[in-house]
Amino acid sequence: MQHIIEGFLNFQKEIFPQRKELFRSLASSQNPKALFISCSDSRLVPELVTQQEPGQLFVIRNAGNIVPSFGPEPGGVSATIEYAVVALGVTDIVICGHSNCGAMKAIAESQPLDPMPAVAHWLHYADAAKAVVEKKTWANEIDKVNAMVEENVIAQLNNIKTHPCVAVGLRNNAIRLHGWVYDIESGEIRTLDKNSKTYVSLADNPHVHFE
């Protein structure tokens, strides 16, 4: 914890004074254009890998970058999506998975989750991805986990489309959806191409999006 507090003290003393104007301009309002939904994993830092300033990304993070389908009892993820779309008017939504995801590994390897009943329940929102992955045979566990990461992003993109505000935005061409997978070791991002249903390099295909 001492590292964290020392970091804050450094921020207050060195960083904040340099960025004073930015923070002043943000003091009473925000106007982010993108909603970024990613895993809570400590190794994926959305603002770092996209080089975005404070005020530019509206972020939801949870175990497995999961978006529950909309239903009669919407939870925190649904409420936050609704706020981003309706109140803030974001134009782009990115769902970003990552390599070596613990949540996706747990599903791919059918790890016993008895000591973590909330996690076990939460990961059921990835059941569609699990079913797709289980239908194939995999040469090794790493390939299976990678497939689970990719299919999970597709499943969560399908889930987010069940949210009324997102459905309206897509129908009116006011929202674009992006499915990304970030590779921790290489720092590369692959993006989902809807037409081919495959992931392609974001660097080589900056205009490809899911919907």
Which residues are at the interface with Zn ion (CB under 5 A)?
Answer: 39, 41, 101
User: Residue 35 or residue 39: which is nearer to Zn ion going by CB?
Assistant: 39
User: Residue 34 or residue 123: which is nearer to Zn ion going by CB?
Assistant: 123
Which ranges in the chain belong to alpha helices (H)?
2-10, 16-18, 20-26, 46-49, 76-82, 102-108, 117-122, 127-134, 141-160, 164-171
Nearest approach in angstroms of CB 75 to Zn ion is 19
Nearest approach in angstroms of CB 37 to Zn ion is 12
Nearest approach in angstroms of CB 124 to Zn ion is 16
**How far from 77 is each of 62, 66, 202, CA to CA, in Å?**
9, 9, 26
Residue 209 annotated as lining a ligand binding site: no
User: Residue 61 or residue 176: which is nearer to Zn ion going by CB?
Assistant: 61
User: Residue 39 or residue 165: which is nearer to Zn ion going by CB?
Assistant: 39
Residue 98 annotated as lining a ligand binding site: yes
Nearest approach in angstroms of CB 95 to Zn ion is 12
Rounded CA gap, 190 and 198, in Å? Answer: 9
Count of Cβ atoms closer than 10 Å to residue 53 Cβ? 10
Nearest approach in angstroms of CB 98 to Zn ion is 6
User: Residue 41 or residue 151: which is nearer to Zn ion going by CB?
Assistant: 41
Establish how many alpha carbons lie within 13 A of residue 40's alpha carbon, considering only the half-sphere containing its beta carbon.
Answer: 5
Q: What does the block give as tokens for 24?
A: 């002043």
Angle, helix 141-160 to helix 127-134, in steps of 10 degrees: 140
> Annotated binding residues, as ranges?
39, 41, 98, 101
> Annotated binding residues for Zn(2+), as ranges?
39, 41, 98, 101
